[in-house]
Structure 1
């Protein structure tokens, strides 16, 4: 038996930010925020997309180094003849790795399907909590959750979508989402040179709406349908509380998809 919180009221707004009506959120938004469950589901989904990697079995072994033996006053480290420098052994420069990664290693973290769906419900509930959303660093002073009419899906131009978001009070959030910085460390050489701030997420009731293409050129803004939304979208990095914009019809799709689990 799952203990639900009281159902929360919410406002539905038009594209100009004017209140259209007030509704009660579906019961899935009243589930307690389980950060441990969200983090576990995130790691499961994230590790599913990782590519297994291994090492060449001859890495660090292509050398003529041999140990000189004992009774010479030297450590028995394999050494290159003539140069005297150590090689081959794990504790030498350029030597082999002691425990290299293997393609047979299990890197995917398993999770039960029911547990995974509960994590999505918990992450959805976190999007309505002001303290959790602010803790992620989002800059928005309006009411949460942000629910717009289905007219949002018909926006076809990036400029029009940006103007609508500014009218709704997302100007500071869009400025924050445009921040891009160079990654620290080796990742710069591995195709991950830049890191970009995660911005708002648009949850739509259909996956074939014009606004999907309109949002592609807004940095940090992501779009996903209610049938496909997951913890990866709602809690990037395993941290709940992403700033989410819902369409009115997407709430019904989410309730039909996940509501049966908590009845």
Structure 2
């Protein structure tokens, strides 16, 4: 299957043949497993000290004293029990808890192929909430000159030319303050995802694009399901460069 390649000014440069991965079967179950596997890989196993709360001389005084039969120190203060100061936790985290979602390498690659194919389906992209009215085509492929852009305003002009600015505004207007305790733990804002830019290799466009609301930039070799299907939902609006298409063809 061939798609059109667009210059930075929005004019058509020519056609490019898409890799077969863009016609892969849509498998939302595999995509979900691959994304969860990537997310859980960041977790660090944790557990309590095996002797937490046990390092005390406290012992129970028995019944018949008109006091609760909790373990007490010589001074009469409760100890050891979860409700006492310095006591052990009632249900502490355990190191034997399974935190990771394991997935086979071939399954992971198939999930990525499925997510890439979903990003070329207008129905799935629209269902994810992206604004694609006026976007020339999906998948959207741009001239390799895009990778040489060094300023954010230049990238923004290209996005406006390709009618991607509506989705940028959606992401910018969707930034909200998170509800709950997460505000105090370094994640104050909820930020919607917008355009994903896939480039061939590390380039100036990575730093030029990432300051736009909701925009992420990744190289074709580093692309995984967590980037193109964030939140386990496939169909992210994606902008490919010519070099990225060639690199992706080499991965499958």
TM-score norm. by structure 1 comes to 0.81
Matched, 1:173 2:167: yes
| 1:109 partner SS | coil
Indicate yes or no: 2:29 matched with 1:36.
yes
Match of 2:234 among 235, 240, 248: 240
Cα drift, residue 81 of structure 1:
11
User: What aligned pairs does 1:62-101 form with structure 2 within 5 A after superposition?
Assistant: 69-70=62-63, 89=81, 92=83, 96-101=88-93
Question: Which of 156, 164, 169 pairs up with 2:150?
Answer: 156
How far apart are residue 51 of structure 1 and its match?
2.2
Give the Å deviation of 1:256. 1.1
Secondary structure of the residue that 2:129 maps to in structure 1? coil
Runs of 5+ unmatched residues, structure 2 = none
Q: Deviations over 1:184-239 (max 9, x none)?
A: 222222222222111111101112x1111111321211111111100111111111
Distance 1:83 1:184, change over 3 A: farther
Quick one: structure 1 residues 81 and 176, their matched pair in 2 at CA, closer, same or farther if it must change by over 3 Å? Answer: farther
- What residue in structure 2 maps to residue 206 of structure 1? 201
* CA RMSD after TM alignment: 2.8
Does residue 1:16 correspond to 2:9, yes or no? yes
Q: Helix, strand or coil for the counterpart of 1:98? A: coil
Deviates more, 1:52-61 or 1:214-223: 52-61
Aligned length: 248
* 1:231 equivalent among 222, 225, 231: 225
Shift in Å, 1:28: 0.6
Aligned to 1:261: none
What secondary structure, in the 3-state scheme, does the structure 2 residue paired with 1:44 have? helix
Would the alpha carbon gap of residues 137 and 60 (structure 1) be closer, same or farther in structure 2, given more than 3 Å must change? farther
| Alignment match, 1:131 | 123
Residues 128 and 70 of structure 1: CA distance in aligned 2, closer, same or farther (over 3 Å): same
**TM-score of the superposition, structure 2-length normalised?**
0.84
1:124 partner SS: helix
